[in-house]
């Protein structure tokens, strides 16, 4: 266990931002942290990193109690902020050296780490450029590099791909997967569902300052899915075909529109092969698909909101 938050309460005035939050982060995983705006994700990150104190509850990171005064924990953390937090008057190489120095790296060790990070973020050809001379995607990669130069055990990435081109986004996502493969634990927050589906081992959904669901995507889908749906277009829709489909065990409804069928079964019925077999016996089909829930469906079901519905976060 890399980190554990137990019964965390954080208030700002009369507003409860974290309401007895419980969260675990497992070693070596990429954990996707999702929630609608105002769910408390940013406050959770600030609490976890020791940037703010909480009103009650306990936070352990690397088996130690976290607080604003615990510098030992901070030395093992890397925080990639949503904003570009590098020095505009330093070039790429100087920024990496500076941030490495902040964490106590020096001499040959610092040189080696800077070289490794430059290879990792693919900015070797731009080391003399200042941040303002970089593209948006390159600046994002430099931002990530500065958080990695001291080789942290846990990296927290807060919206690391905001406002960049698809090529840079793909580079960052591949880099995150490489980090995890090397043993680094990653907490990843984003407003892009497809990114979470692509790279995260486990997902936590927050709302109202609490965790309302967690697990792998498949686990969460199984918990909310109530039915399976198969759609197909028959070569010829006949009463015999319709009747045969209705007789399949587990089928709860068969809807027909022209030659298009929608077959609904109880969840987990496993009727795909049966439907295909019957359809082939009655003249065949021209198209076939199975409705599958995705992370957007899970999120909307649990929170009643879309992830990118509004601006602002606490």
Query: Cβ distance 214 to 204 under 8 Å?
Result: yes
* 29: in domain: yes
The predicted structure's pLDDT at residue 307: 63
Same domain, 64 and 182: yes
* 306: in domain: no
Which CATH number characterizes residue 276's domain?
3.30.70.920
Domain range spanning residue 243? 227-291
Same domain, 81 and 161: yes
The predicted structure's pLDDT at residue 314: 62
Per-residue pLDDT tens for 56-100? 999 999 999 998 888 889 899 999 998 999 999 999 999 999 999
264: how many CB neighbours lie within 10 A of its CB? Answer: 18
* 271: in domain: yes
pLDDT band, residue 301 (cuts 50/70/90) = confident
* 296: in domain: no
User: Mean of the pLDDT values across residues 198-224?
Assistant: 94
Per-residue pLDDT tens for 223-243? 888 888 999 999 999 999 999
Same domain, 234 and 212: no
Lowest mean pLDDT segment, chosen from 7-11, 14-18, 25-29, 306-310: 306-310
Residue reference for tokens 């954990």: 31
Same domain, 98 and 247: no
Same domain, 152 and 271: no
Same domain, 95 and 144: yes
CA distance 17 to 21: 10
The predicted structure's pLDDT at residue 131: 95
Same domain, 207 and 232: no
Which CATH number characterizes residue 102's domain?
3.40.50.300
Entry field: residues in the chain:
314
Domain total for the chain? 2
* 114: in domain: yes
* 22: in domain: yes
> Residue 216: is its pLDDT beyond 50?
yes
* 174: in domain: yes
Same domain, 45 and 132: yes
CA distance 25 to 62: 10
Chain centre distance of CA 144: 16
């Amino acid at each position: 266990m890399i980190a554990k938050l137990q019964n965390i309460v954080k208030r700002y005035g009369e507003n409860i931002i974290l309401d007895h939050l419980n969260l675990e982060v497992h070693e070596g995983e990429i954990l996707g942290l999702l929630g609608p705006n105002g769910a408390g994700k940013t406050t959770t990150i600030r609490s976890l990193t020791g940037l703010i104190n909480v009103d009650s509850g306990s936070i352990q990171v690397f088996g130690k109690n976290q607080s604003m005064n615990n510098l030992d924990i901070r030395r093992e953390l890397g925080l990639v902020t949503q904003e570009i937090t590098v020095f505009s008057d330093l070039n790429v190489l100087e920024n990496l050296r500076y941030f490495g120095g902040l964490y106590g790296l020096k001499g040959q060790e610092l040189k080696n780490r800077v070289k490794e990070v430059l290879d990792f973020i693919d900015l070797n050809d731009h080391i003399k450029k200042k941040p303002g001379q970089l593209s948006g995607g390159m600046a994002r990669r430099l931002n990530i590099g500065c958080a990695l130069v001291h080789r942290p055990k846990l990296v927290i990435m807060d919206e690391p791909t905001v406002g960049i081109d698809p090529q840079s986004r793909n580079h960052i996502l591949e880099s995150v997967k490489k980090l995890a493969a090397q043993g680094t634990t990653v907490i990843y927050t984003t407003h892009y569902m497809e990114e979470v589906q692509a790279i995260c081992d486990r997902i936590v959904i927050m709302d109202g300052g609490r965790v309302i669901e967690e697990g792998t995507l498949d686990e969460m889908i199984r918990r909310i899915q109530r039915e399976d749906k198969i759609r197909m277009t028959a070569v010829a829709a006949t009463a015999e075909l319709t009747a045969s489909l209705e007789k399949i065990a587990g089928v709860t409804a068969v809807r027909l529109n022209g030659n298009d069928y929608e077959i609904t079964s109880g969840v987990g019925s496993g009727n795909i092969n049966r439907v295909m077999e019957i359809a082939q016996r009655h003249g065949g089909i021209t198209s076939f698909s199975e409705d599958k829930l995705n992370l957007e469906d899970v999120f909307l079901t649990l929170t009643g909101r879309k992830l990118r519905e509004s601006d602002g976060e606490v």
